[in-house]
């Protein structure tokens, strides 16, 4: 059965568009998200910079286009989030960034390096954290008719993209105090609400629902990170790292 290409608009009667090469439209599912990520893991020149720029200028509309089938110009959300999280993890470790609140969290040099390593590893938990967050968001915006997998793609793009801002703040040394951390959290929230407005085509910013999603992400992320972090420490898996750094 013929259909229109969601990328260029030309008729498609095979598995791929004969004009632009994009695959015929298929609904977003968890399986396709991760399968396409593996297939395009090293295809960063085809869409990464365009995706980064687009997510900075009109995030909601771009993600909606992706979910609705216009995918060739953009990097897969799993690949995009993974790469950006890696940039953030490398930034805090290579630059030995200070991430603490004076008087609340104080580390020795070795403890700080170990904390950075652990913090970098736990950043990859975002892929698990965003599953329940996407489910909560899908329920809050259930009138849109979007499925959890499609909302998960939105979450990967948005929370992946804000890690770029986190990396900039970390590199600039702005995460060593309350003002920097508070500013970063405010930027992340405003970006989330802005992206939601475009994604769901809303005339008013969904502030309350954005707060609910942000709170869910904060609670789930910290609970899971604390649990996994304590398990790693209790199992003694960081002792070899401490000994190496000593």
Digit-coded pLDDT (tens) for 173-187: 888 778 888 999 999
Give how many domains the chain has, as a whole number: 1
Phi-psi region of 103 (alpha: psi -120 to 50; beta: other; left: phi over 0): left
In this predicted model, what pLDDT tens digit does every residue of 115-161 receive, in sequence order?
Answer: 666 777 778 889 999 999 999 999 999 999 999 999 999 999 999 99
Specify if 160 maps to a domain.
Answer: yes
Q: 86 and 126 in contact (C-beta within 8 Å)?
A: no
Specify if 18 maps to a domain.
Answer: no
Specify if 139 maps to a domain.
Answer: yes
d(CA 159, CA 30): 17
Specify if 101 maps to a domain.
Answer: yes
Structural domain span for residue 188: 27-245
d(CA 186, CA 191): 9
Predicted pLDDT of residue 104: 44
pLDDT at 112 over 60: no
44 vs 33, 48, 75, CA distance in Å? Answer: 16, 5, 7
pLDDT at 113 over 50: yes
Specify if 21 maps to a domain.
Answer: no
Specify if 185 maps to a domain.
Answer: yes
In this predicted model, what pLDDT tens digit does every residue of 18-37 receive, in sequence order?
Answer: 667 666 656 777 777 776 66
Specify if 22 maps to a domain.
Answer: no
Predicted pLDDT of residue 1: 47
Instruction: Please give the model's pTM, rounded to 2 decimal places.
Output: 0.77
Specify if 110 maps to a domain.
Answer: yes
Tell me how far the alpha carbon of residue 25 is from its chain's centroid: 24
Predicted pLDDT of residue 70: 85
In degrees and rounded to multiples of 5, residue 177 shows phi and psi of -170, 170
């Amino acid at each position: 059965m013929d259909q229109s290409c969601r990328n260029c608009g030309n008729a498609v009667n095979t598995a791929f568009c004969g004009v632009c090469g994009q695959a015929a439209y298929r609904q977003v599912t968890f399986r396709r998200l991760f399968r396409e990520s593996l297939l395009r893991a090293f295809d960063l020149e085809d869409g990464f910079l365009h995706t980064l720029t687009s997510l900075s200028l009109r995030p909601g509309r771009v993600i909606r286009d992706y979910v609705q089938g216009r995918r060739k110009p953009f990097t897969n959300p799993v690949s995009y989030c993974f790469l950006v999280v890696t940039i953030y993890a490398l930034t805090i470790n290579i630059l030995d960034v200070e991430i603490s609140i004076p008087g609340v969290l104080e580390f020795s040099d070795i403890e700080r390096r170990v904390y950075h390593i652990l913090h970098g590893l736990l950043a990859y938990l975002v892929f698990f954290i965003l599953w329940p967050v996407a489910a909560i968001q899908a329920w809050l915006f259930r009138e849109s008719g979007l499925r959890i997998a499609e909302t998960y793609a939105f979450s990967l793009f948005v929370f992946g993209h804000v890690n770029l801002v986190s990396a900039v703040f970390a590199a600039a040394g702005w995460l060593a105090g309350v003002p920097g951390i508070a500013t970063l959290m405010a930027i992340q929230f405003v970006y989330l609400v802005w992206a939601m407005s475009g994604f769901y085509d809303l005339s008013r910013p969904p502030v309350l629902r954005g707060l609910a999603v942000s709170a869910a992400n904060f609670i789930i992320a910290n609970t899971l990170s604390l649990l996994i972090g304590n398990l790693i420490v209790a199992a003694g898996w960081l002792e070899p790292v401490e000994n190496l750094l000593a």
